[in-house]
Amino acid sequence: MLRFNTSDPTKNRIETLILPVCEDSPLHAGDPVRTLIDRAGERPEFSGEKGDVMVLYDPDGINAGRVILAGLGKAGKADAEAFRALAGKMIRRCMRMKLPEATIAVPSAGKTGTEEKELLTALMEGACLGNHVDNRYKQEKKQTPLQTIDFLVDEKTAAAYEYLPSRVEAVCAGTVMAREWVNLPANDKQPEVYAEDIAEKAAAAGLKVTVLDETALREKGFGALMAVTQGSESKARLVILEYQAEKAEKTVALVGKGVTFDTGGLNLKISGSMSDMKQDMAGSAAVAATLLSAPQVRPGVNLIGVLPLVENMVSANAIRPGDVIRTYAGKTVEIGNTDAEGRLILIDAIAYTIETMKPDILIDMATLTGACVVALGEGFAGVFSEDDELTEALLRSGRRTFERCWRMPLPDDYRELLKSNIADLNNMSRSKRWAGAITAALFLSEFVKDTRWAHIDIAGPAFIEKESAYCGAGGTGFGVRLFWDFLNHLL
Ligand code: BES
Ligand code: ZN
Ligand code: ZN
């Protein structure tokens, strides 16, 4: 739980105080804290350099059991992400120290280059997200999250941002939810199992939930989605979550790729690239988790989450390269490669959403291409859209949340690469090696008509091999904070 603490640290006892410190200029206003930092700085082992940490027990001047001084480096370089990372790292350290709670001393915003709200949000997000450990499959639970994290501020700040702790908690709970879904091994999240879990949580949160099963999907003509699932023993689902805002003029639809495991199908992936393919539903996890937090965040727009859920497997029933399928929209597609399955389930979900729900804006999020990871690495998602305003809004949200996005092109002349000799389109580009992320996005664009649309390829940032400052190894929950920042700035 996140809370403000406005008490006087010289009087009221604080068990663990985390103190961010810059090497070249003071960040804190109060005298006792300043004196403490100055004294620490006289020691050779702590200068406030980035990564410096020093723990003082029962220090003079402050009524604290321990003070953890944490270096931020030069003040000019300490942006919101530096504070987010510092909070995450220090809370993870406290978790390892088996502490039940900690208090972070919030710097005076005026002494940092960051605005007060941004600074508070960053510290709270880093602390909240860092305070998560996914040990559901471990018998021995070595770490437990802290029960409370306090933020030491003056009364004026606490009053002005009273709403902030619960808001940040709601959004971060979404990120954590998405991480945990991504981390689930594929043998525990077959489409029908995963759909049931989403539906249950969504109903409990007060969302409207619709689940289409295979009979309904076949009847309605989801030919592309059904083609992907036909090789799997598990059953495909389409989950639709709806949040109705009190007074809203706009409806935003979010569509998320939900391939619970991607073997590649008959165009089988080589083992190295198959091993982490339980992550191939990260787009759906981000969308579902965003919808789940909507009743608490209460956006000013109506929200729809659409989740096509399948498993891409190999069997005697699997689709073959060269097969031709009929999509929901009526266009036919030649299967050039069974490993380009994400775009197949997405086009049916997108066409259905546009036809039946007529959203003002549609954004899809997907771990769509390895090519996007080659282009941008783990740090950036690729954004594809012809809508400049929508793109700029997403890029801005990416900068604010540090869920970074980079715009990629949608060149019309590349559409040629998706031509098929026999069908309306081929799901694989003729240029097999080049521009894979772009041709995948162009393929999707054939199904969005004139709806305002953006596609976000998160194949890079959805999953990390090694833990970072505020995220354990595995699913990152990328997309939830990005969506919320975007939605909250939409009006
Ligand atoms: N799920 C993969 C993309 C992916 C790669 C996600 C790495 C996460 C990390 C997707 O379904 C895929 O296999 N794409 C192919 C498309 C190709 C066959 C046209 C790719 O990117 O190689
Ligand atoms: Zn694939
Ligand atoms: Zn895939």
- pLDDT for 366-400, tens place per residue? 999 999 999 999 999 999 999 999 999 999 999 99
- What count of Cα atoms within 13 Å lies in the side-chain half-sphere of residue 397? 22
| pTM across the whole model | 0.98
Let me know: does 312 contact 286? Beta carbons within 8 Å: no
Residues 165 and 2: their CA atoms lie apart, in Å, by 5
Supply the residue whose CA is at minimum distance from atom 16 of ligand 1.
Answer: 340
Q: Is 428 in the pocket of ligand 1 (CB under 6 A)?
A: yes
Q: Is 150 in the pocket of ligand 1 (CB under 6 A)?
A: no
Residues 25 and 131: their CA atoms lie apart, in Å, by 29
pLDDT for the residue numbered 441? 98
Encoded amino acid at 134, one letter: D
Q: Is 457 in the pocket of ligand 1 (CB under 6 A)?
A: no
Mutate to test the pocket of ligand 1, among 369, 418, 430, 434 (most ligand atoms within 8 A of CB): 369
Residue 188 DSSP class: G
Distance 277 CA to ligand 2 centre (A): 9
Residue 289 CB contacts under 8 Å (≥ 6 apart), including other chains? 174, 175, 177, 178, 181, 477, 480
Residue 377 CB contacts under 8 Å (≥ 6 apart), including other chains? 460
First vs last Cα of the chain: how many Å apart?
Answer: 29
pLDDT for the residue numbered 340? 98
Closest CA to 319 of 355, 299, 353, 344: 344
Supply the residue whose CA is at minimum distance from atom 7 of ligand 1.
Answer: 370
Residues of the chain where predicted confidence (pLDDT) is lower than 50 = none
pLDDT for the residue numbered 47? 92
Q: Is 341 in the pocket of ligand 1 (CB under 6 A)?
A: yes
pLDDT for the residue numbered 42? 85
Distance 124 CA to ligand 2 centre (A): 36
Q: Is 367 in the pocket of ligand 1 (CB under 6 A)?
A: yes
Supply the residue whose CA is at minimum distance from atom 3 of ligand 1.
Answer: 369
The distance between the two most distant Cα atoms of the chain, rounded to a whole number of Å, is: 80
pLDDT for the residue numbered 434? 96
pLDDT for the residue numbered 33? 84
| Positions marked active-site | 269, 343
Ligand nearest to the CA of residue 461, numbered in listed order: 1
Supply the residue whose CA is at minimum distance from atom 17 of ligand 1.
Answer: 340
Let me know: does 408 contact 441? Beta carbons within 8 Å: yes
Distance 281 CA to ligand 3 centre (A): 8
pLDDT for the residue numbered 35? 86
pLDDT for the residue numbered 34? 84
Q: Is 263 in the pocket of ligand 1 (CB under 6 A)?
A: no
For residue 341, which atom of ligand 1 is closest to its CA? 11
Residue 269 DSSP class: P
Closest CA to 253 of 129, 390, 434, 412: 390
pLDDT in tens, 182-240: 999 999 999 999 999 999 999 999 999 999 999 999 999 999 999 999 999 999 999 99
Q: Is 423 in the pocket of ligand 1 (CB under 6 A)?
A: no
Distance 369 CA to ligand 1 centre (A): 4
Lay out the sheet containing 53-57: strands in order across: 2-5, 148-152, 101-105, 14-22, 64-73, 53-57
For residue 337, which atom of ligand 1 is closest to its CA? 18
Structure tokens at 5: 């603490």
Alpha helices by DSSP H, 221-270: 223-229
Encoded amino acid at 17, one letter: L
| Beta-carbon count within 10 A of 476 CB | 26
| Beta-carbon count within 10 A of 315 CB | 12
pLDDT for the residue numbered 251? 98
pLDDT for the residue numbered 37? 87
